[in-house]
């Protein structure tokens, strides 16, 4: 039953992968390469350039809740189209970003897209897949890491050729050339899955959005989940958005070493997202805690980087830890909070993810501006990830379908 579920629903995985790649993966993994170029062109500080991510992720925080509720209410068909198109426009607008307000407004548009597309894809994939939910979400979200493999190889030569703003505009066109046509073909070619995508969540609603949040937060474990989610999100994206500048300015590595290191990091993230999905399906919250601890170790391993050997060690552990982060919220939502108002609940958790994303990068950039290096920030952020794992550790899953339960269900349905 579990294997047949993957075979039966592979078209959804494919089109969701394409949408996440162009709407979330490319913008996210482009930003670290924009920052040094923008600093060089306009003299902006590390903190200022990182506020592009803050603009994106604060918008994404709001969109995660709004879009999660809308997917529950009206389905994902049209929301996906609108959100993806806005993201392509945001990337194209960076062509005109010769001042900070335009630069941040482009981040605002990219945030609408990222929050909308990610909410749609995570909700519908986790809803459609019963036995392999975390693995399926991991496969879809590995699109972000595939973008991370490709972007470090594209950005350095493209910056030299056409500049960072024109590169952003060119990459933004991918939404319109590839992602939206793929979504249209999917909707017309796979009617069963298209119906599942377009159908609202039929679980009866007894409360509004705010009342649902109030009921969730009355559970003490709610805060023991969302606080760690917020903290690890801040840590993960702080390093993701600052590692290029850190390796270039603090460690003196050349662009070629950094670009190949970045591609390896993201390639490991592909493996880690799928592997973390398997681990989360099997071990649930215990597996998530283990990856939070690995995140702390990966941050500290940045400190001794001085050449290729230490860079490789840092990249390997960092890639494995980073890949597992984005898969945690769908698993936590499904395993602890259950199916009721699934889209809204995941949206609320994703709100805290995006708040962490918004706070983490500029704060690390500001600490580096004040101290002259990233070292104190790396030490502090590693301890924050460690604390996040300790907070989450006592929480136990309530709606987790264990492997032995899957076997029983499969036998009953065979």
Q: Which helix (H) or strand (E) holds 282?
A: helix 255-283
Total number of residues shown for the chain:
414
Q: Which of 25-39, 118-132, 165-179, 396-410 has the highest mean pLDDT?
A: 165-179
Nearest Cα neighbor of 145 from 312, 297, 356, 319 is 319
Nearest Cα neighbor of 168 from 91, 241, 100, 259 is 91
* Model confidence, pTM: 0.74
The class (CATH top level) of 2-198+219-413 is mainly alpha
Question: Does residue 304 sit in helix, strand or coil?
Answer: coil
pLDDT in tens, 316-346: 999 999 888 878 988 898 889 877 777 778 8
> What is each CA distance from 372 to 232, 332, 375, 400, in whole angstroms?
24, 38, 9, 47
Separation CA 132–CA 356 (nearest Å): 27
180, two tokens: 């939206």
The larger pLDDT score, comparing residue 138 to residue 130, is at 138
Question: Does residue 359 sit in helix, strand or coil?
Answer: helix
pLDDT in tens, 198-226: 767 655 555 677 787 888 888 889 999 99
Q: Which pLDDT does position 358 carry in this prediction?
A: 84
Separation CA 97–CA 76 (nearest Å): 31
Q: Which pLDDT does position 205 carry in this prediction?
A: 54
Q: Is the predicted pLDDT of residue 412 greater than 60, yes or no?
A: no
Q: Are 287 and 395 in contact (CB under 8 A)?
A: no
Which of 19-33, 97-111, 122-136, 287-301 shows the lowest per-residue confidence on average (mean pLDDT)?
122-136
Q: What is the DSSP string of 182-229?
A: HHHHHHHH-HHHHHHHHSPP-SPP-S-HHHHHHHHHTSHHHHHHHHHH
Buried b (16+ CB within 10 A) or exposed e, 380-411: ebbebbbbbbebbbebebeebbeeeebeeeee
Buried b (16+ CB within 10 A) or exposed e, 65-91: bbbbbbbbeebbbebbbebbbbbbbbb
Separation CA 390–CA 292 (nearest Å): 9
- Number of other residues whose CB lies within 10 A of the CB of residue 343: 29
pLDDT in tens, 267-303: 888 888 888 888 988 899 999 999 999 999 999 999 9
Separation CA 74–CA 201 (nearest Å): 8
> What is each CA distance from 194 to 134, 229, 355, in whole angstroms?
21, 31, 32
Separation CA 241–CA 249 (nearest Å): 14
Where on the phi/psi map is residue 75: left (φ > 0), alpha (ψ -120 to 50), or beta? left
Q: Cβ contacts of residue 66 below 8 Å, gap of 6+?
A: 115, 347
Distance from chain centroid for Cα 51:
17
Separation CA 107–CA 27 (nearest Å): 9
């Amino acid at each position: 039953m579990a294997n047949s579920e993957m075979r039966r629903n592979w078209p959804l995985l494919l089109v969701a992968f394409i949408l996440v790649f162009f709407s979330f993966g490319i913008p996210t993994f482009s930003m670290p390469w924009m920052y040094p170029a923008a600093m060089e062109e306009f003299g902006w500080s590390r903190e200022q350039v990182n506020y592009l991510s803050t603009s994106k992720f604060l918008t994404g925080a709001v969109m995660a809740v709004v879009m999660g509720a809308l997917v529950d209410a009206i389905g994902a068909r049209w929301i996906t189209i609108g959100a993806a198109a806005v993201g392509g426009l945001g990337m194209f607008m960076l062509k005109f970003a010769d001042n900070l307000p335009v630069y941040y407004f482009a981040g605002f548009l990219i945030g609408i897209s990222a929050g909308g597309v990610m909410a749609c894809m995570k909700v519908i994939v986790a809803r459609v897949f019963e036995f392999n939910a975390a693995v399926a979400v991991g496969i879809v979200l590995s699109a972000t890491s595939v973008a991370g493999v490709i972007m470090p190889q594209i950005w350095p030569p493209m910056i030299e050729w056409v500049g960072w703003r024109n590169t952003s505009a060119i990459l933004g066109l991918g939404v319109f050339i590839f992602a939206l046509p793929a979504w249209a073909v999917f909707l017309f070619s796979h009617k069963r899955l298209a119906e599942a995508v377009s159908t609202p969540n039929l679980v009866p609603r007894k409360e509004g959005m705010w009342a649902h949040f109030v009921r969730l937060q009355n559970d003490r474990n709610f805060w023991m989940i969302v606080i760690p989610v917020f903290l690890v999100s801040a840590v993960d994206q702080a390093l993701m958005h600052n590692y290029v500048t850190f390796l270039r300015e603090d460690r003196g590595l050349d662009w070629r070493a950094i670009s190949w290191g970045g591609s390896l990091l993201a390639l490991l993230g592909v493996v880690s997202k799928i592997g973390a999905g398997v681990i989360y399906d099997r071990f649930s919250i215990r597996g998530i805690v283990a990856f939070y601890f690995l995140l702390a170790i990966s941050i500290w391993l940045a400190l001794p980087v001085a050449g290729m050997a230490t860079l490789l060690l840092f990249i390997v552990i960092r890639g494995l830890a980073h890949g597992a982060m984005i898969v945690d919220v769908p698993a936590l939502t499904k395993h602890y909070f259950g199916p009721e108002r699934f889209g809204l609940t995941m949206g609320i958790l994703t709100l805290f993810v995006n708040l962490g994303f918004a706070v983490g990068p500029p704060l690390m950039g500001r600490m580096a501006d004040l101290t002259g290096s990233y070292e104190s920030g790396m030490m502090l952020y590693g301890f924050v990830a460690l604390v996040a794992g300790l907070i989450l550790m006592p929480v136990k899953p309530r709606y987790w379908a264990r492997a032995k339960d899957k076997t029983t269900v499969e036998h009953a349905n065979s």
